[in-house]
């Protein structure tokens, strides 16, 4: 009896497994052959699912953003106040800081390598918009620009964490940001 394969699920598995390979070697340094080898599949199998390394990476961006949002929303629950929702979000980022820092570094490297492609491809823009909307909904803020501000703030903290040796106090930053937003929204 032939093996039944859920191709969409298999593609997602390949994507998620490729993240560690990209993070370990860098976008510019790894080839499709090396990715296939690291994933334990043939190069032909990898090309069957992804026409190029760039296509694989852009789909990875979308899948990681989707998974991060699903994991966050599943863990976050529904805290009653804006302050508690911000604290919950910052605690999630702190708990997953290493993973998020790896993502940020990969996105920056991809940008350096493929800057021209970013103007033609909406993967990053689409992911950012979906994430911003999900955060606006979660925070229950009326203006999507506020969610955009919160995400920019978090990415700034992640960048600081990458380049500084001093540990960032996410609870302290969450408290400060919630005071700012509560005052702004009054």
pLDDT at 112: 86
Written in H, E and C, the secondary structure of the chain is CCCCCCHHHHHHHHHHHHHHHHHHHCCCCCCHHHHHHHHCCCHHHHHHHCCCHHHHHHHHHHHHHHHHHHHHHHHHCCCCCHHHHHHHHHHHHHHCHHHHHHHHHHHHHHHHHHHHHHHHCCHHHHHHHHHHHHHHHHHCCCCHHHHHHHHHHHHHHHHHHHHCCCCCCHHHHHHHHHHHHHHHHC
pLDDT at 7: 82
pLDDT at 79: 95
pTM of the model: 0.89
- Per-residue confidence in pLDDT tens, the chain, 186 aa: 566 668 889 999 999 999 999 999 999 999 999 999 999 999 999 999 999 999 999 999 999 999 999 999 999 999 999 999 999 999 999 999 999 999 999 988 998 888 766 666 677 788 889 999 999 999 999 899 999 999 999 999 999 988 887 778 999 999 999 999 999 998
pLDDT at 176: 96
């Amino acid at each position: 009896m032939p093996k039944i394969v859920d191709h969409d699920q298999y593609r997602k598995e390949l994507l998620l497994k490729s993240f560690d390979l990209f993070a370990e070697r860098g976008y510019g340094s790894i080839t499709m052959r090396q990715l296939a080898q690291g994933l334990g599949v043939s190069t032909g199998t990898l090309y069957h699912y992804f026409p190029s390394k760039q296509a694989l990476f852009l789909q990875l961006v979308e899948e990681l953003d989707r998974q991060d949002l699903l994991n966050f929303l599943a863990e976050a629950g529904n805290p009653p106040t804006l302050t508690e929702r911000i604290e919950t979000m910052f605690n999630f980022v702190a708990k997953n800081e290493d993973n998020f820092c790896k993502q940020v570094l990969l996105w920056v490297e991809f940008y350096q390598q493929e800057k021209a492609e970013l103007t033609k491809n909406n993967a990053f823009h689409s992911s950012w918009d979906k994430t911003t909307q999900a955060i606006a909904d979660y925070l229950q803020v009326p203006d999507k620009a506020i969610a955009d501000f919160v995400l920019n703030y978090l990415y700034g903290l992640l960048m600081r964490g990458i380049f500084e040796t001093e540990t960032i106090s996410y609870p302290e930053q969450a408290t400060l940001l919630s005071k700012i937003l509560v005052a702004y929204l009054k």
